[in-house]
Amino acid sequence: MSRFASLEQLRAACRDLPDADQATAEAVSAREARLTKPSGSLGRLEDLTAWLAAWQGRNPPRLDRPEILVFAANHGVTAQGVSAYPSEVTAQMVANFAAGGAAINQLACLSGAALRITSLSLDTPTADFTKKPAMDETAFLDAVGAGYDEVSDDADLVVLGEMGIGNTTAAAALSAALFGGGGRFAGTGTGIDDQGLARKRAAIEKALERHKDALGDPLRAAACVGGRELAAILGACLAARHKHIPVLIDGIVSTAAVAPLKLLREDSLDHARVGHLSAEAGHGLLLDELGMTPLLDLGLRLGEGSGAAVALLVLRAALACHTGMATFEEAQISDKSS
Ligand SMILES: Cc1cc2ncn([C@H]3O[C@H](COP(=O)(O)O)[C@@H](O)[C@H]3O)c2cc1C
Ligand SMILES: O=C(O)c1cccnc1
């Protein structure tokens, strides 16, 4: 039995959100202003520390227990020839994660984060959404609930990633369902050729036409043209908000996964930052629609949470400066006002 019994119950949970702790953020910004550097010279690192504090409600904020949650699932739409790799690779990569051989294992280790992989019914792919809804309401709510339940109460940051052959098609379809524009969010994913990209766009357009009556509702759109791992990421992002835990989102797949939340409540992603701009073509377009600015732009196009895990190192840099630096008074350095 899922934590969410109906779409209406989930919708209510998506609208009932705690706010940031502004007083704590202001206290952190006040200390930041007294640190031994020209005012504002640590640029966006300064904002990141205040953002962490605002959502953790803690001064100073901490990164003692960050966790990377990777959700894996399979997609019926792969029957349309939309990925360069076969669906078996999803389970094979889950085995690789368990053995420590994937990119995200190295980045989790380096960034000092716990890594948890959750497989969602890998032997039961979603339906091919060019033909019918990817998930019925029960399957969708189960996946959202599974993601929600993965977030630890005592995590101080959650990084959201995924593994699922075919999921850049689901991400592009969901983005278009939410923001319009047919195949414009489609990119080459794992590296499909021009014919593959044409098949991907055609599959997306067919799905949008088939499900057009459902797409006005962001949650039904996510059930019709999303995927289990995208639904779980939505659930985890929502759980993190309810638990006052800041979130780092990864590339196009995890961004598309949480996008329905934004349409249900405008400020629902304020506790989240986008770790990086994926090289997957549609990610920048999607971020423009969401009004979100990525922290890094390194040309990554992997998924797994990899770009967000690299961005966690930047958050650590921000926090190290904030907590370790001396103030002007402590170091007896004359500041510009004295
Ligand atoms: C070996 C391998 C490792 C991966 N790690 C993440 N992805 C990424 O690629 C997939 C999405 O691309 P598409 O929509 O083109 O299938 C997802 O599994 C995503 O996490 C991988 C893909 C492969 C092949
Ligand atoms: O940006 C992403 O999330 C992405 C890009 C390519 C393949 N898989 C994921």
pLDDT at 115 over 80: yes
pLDDT at 21 over 90: yes
User: Which pLDDT band holds residue 264 (cuts at 50, 70, 90)?
Assistant: very high
Average pLDDT over residues 15-22: 98
pLDDT at 333 over 90: yes
Place of tokens 């005012």: 39
Mean pLDDT of the chain: 98
Give the pLDDT of residue 134: 98
Q: pLDDT of 200-218, one tens digit each?
A: 999 999 999 999 999 999 9
User: Which pLDDT band holds residue 2 (cuts at 50, 70, 90)?
Assistant: confident
Give the pLDDT of residue 301: 98
Residues that are catalytic: 304
Average pLDDT over residues 29-33: 97
User: Which pLDDT band holds residue 338 (cuts at 50, 70, 90)?
Assistant: low
C-alpha 72 to ligand 1 mean position (Å): 10
C-alpha 239 to ligand 1 mean position (Å): 25
Average pLDDT over residues 258-279: 98
Give the pLDDT of residue 116: 98
C-alpha 154 to ligand 1 mean position (Å): 30
Q: pLDDT of 166-203, one tens digit each?
A: 999 999 999 999 999 999 999 999 999 999 999 999 99
Query: Which ligand number lies closest to the CA of residue 186?
Result: 1
Q: pLDDT of 37-87, one tens digit each?
A: 999 999 999 999 999 999 999 999 999 999 999 999 999 999 999 999 999
CATH 1.10.10.10 fits 64-317, yes or no: no
Q: Do residues 177 and 37 touch, judged by C-beta distance below 8 A?
A: no
| Distance of alpha carbon 123 from alpha carbon 108, whole angstroms | 27
Of ligand 1's listed atoms, the one at least distance from the Cα of 167 is 14
Query: Which ligand number lies closest to the CA of residue 73?
Result: 1
pLDDT at 337 over 70: no
pLDDT at 34 over 70: yes
Give the pLDDT of residue 31: 97
Atom 10 (ligand 1): residue with closest C-alpha? 165
Average pLDDT over residues 5-12: 98
Angle (nearest 5°) at CA 282 between 281 and 285: 120
The model carries a pTM of 0.99
Average pLDDT over residues 74-101: 98
Give the pLDDT of residue 1: 72
Of 197, 254, 280, 306, the residue with max ligand 2 atoms within 8 A of its CB, to mutate for a pocket test, comes to 280
Q: Is the CB of 303 under 6 A from ligand 1?
A: yes
Atom 22 (ligand 1): residue with closest C-alpha? 190
Secondary structure in 3-state letters for the chain: CCCCCCHHHHHHHHHCCCCCCHHHHHHHHHHHHHECCCCCCCHHHHHHHHHHHHHHCCCCCCCCCEEEEEEECCEHHHHHCCCCCCCHHHHHHHHHHHHCCCHHHHHHHHHCCEEEEEECCCCCCECCCCCCCCCCHHHHHHHHHHHHHHCCCCCCEEEEEEECCCHHHHHHHHHHHHHCCHHHHCCCCCCCCHHHHHHHHHHHHHHHHHCCCCCCCHHHHHHHHCCHHHHHHHHHHHHHHHCCCCEEECCHHHHHHHHHHHHHCCCCCCCEEECECCCCCHHHHHHHHHCCCCCECCCCCCCCCHHHHHHHHHHHHHHHHHHHCCEHHHHCCCCCCC
| 3-state percent breakdown (helix, strand, coil) of the chain, nearest 5 | 55, 10, 40
